[in-house]
């Protein structure tokens, strides 16, 4: 019985991995953003988008299609993105905690995305604390770079400070949502906090 359950879980995971390969995305994570887009319509033609922790580039590629050739897309990651991207997208190889990295990003944005995750230790409390730290950095960048009415999407590992972070997002946006895409691995503690309507 256990073996069947594990096989089912593996086949579910493989479904998205195989689909990503067929559709020429470098990672299965693209389907998380796709589900968010289908539910909340956060990306629109002509939008400017900042993607934090953008490697290997699946979210960049999907977002570029949603915003179209008149949009603008900037991705930042310590790991360089090597996949081909359309002209409206560019990437910066650097750490988001480095002021020089952020100084290389021009202008303001309609949407700030963060799919960042810490290097996991297997200790849930430690991993959650590290995730919260990244989320707060992302939220700080969103405060500085989002246009009025803008949208913030952030992956977070649920832990001790989760509710506090949600309240911080709630205070900055007209609406907020918690959303766990079906494409998330079932055992994962990750969930997405979405803030819509930057004040």
| Token pair in block for residue 82 | 């090597």
* Three-class secondary structure of residue 85 per DSSP: coil
CA distance 55 to 91: 9
Catalytic residue among 21, 155, 170, 175: 155
Q: Which two tokens stand for residue 99?
A: 């002021």
Give the rounded distance of the alpha carbon of 153 from its chain centre.
Answer: 6
Task: Quote the CA–CA distance of 47 and 70 in Å, as a whole number.
Answer: 8
DSSP string computed for 130-188? HHHHHHHHHHHHHHHHEEEEEEEEEEEE-STTHHHHHHHHHHHEEEEEEE--TTS-TT-
Size of the chain, expressed as the number of residues it contains: 199
Catalytic, 155? Answer yes
Taking alpha carbons only, the member of 123, 92, 122, 89 closest to residue 105 is 92
- Residues with a catalytic annotation lie at 155
């Amino acid at each position: 019985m256990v073996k069947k359950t594990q096989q089912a879980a593996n086949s579910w995971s493989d479904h998205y991995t195989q689909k990503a390969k067929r559709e020429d995305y470098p990672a299965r994570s693209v389907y998380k953003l796709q589900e968010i887009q289908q539910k909340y319509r956060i990306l629109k033609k002509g939008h400017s988008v900042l993607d934090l922790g953008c490697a290997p580039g699946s979210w960049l590629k999907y977002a570029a299609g949603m915003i179209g050739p008149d949009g603008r897309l900037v991705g930042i990651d310590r790991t360089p993105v090597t996949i081909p991207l359309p002209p409206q997208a560019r990437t910066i190889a650097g750490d988001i905690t480095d002021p020089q990295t952020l100084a290389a990003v021009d202008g303001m944005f309609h949407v700030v995305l963060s799919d960042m995750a810490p290097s996991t230790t297997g200790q849930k409390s430690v991993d959650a604390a590290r995730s919260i730290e990244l989320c707060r950095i992302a939220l700080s960048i969103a405060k500085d770079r989002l246009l009025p009415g803008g949208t913030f999407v952030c992956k977070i590992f649920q832990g001790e400070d989760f509710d506090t972070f949600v309240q911080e997002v709630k205070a900055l946006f007209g609406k907020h949502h918690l959303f766990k895409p079906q494409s998330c691995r079932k055992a994962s503690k990750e969930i997405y906090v979405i803030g819509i309507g930057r004040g």
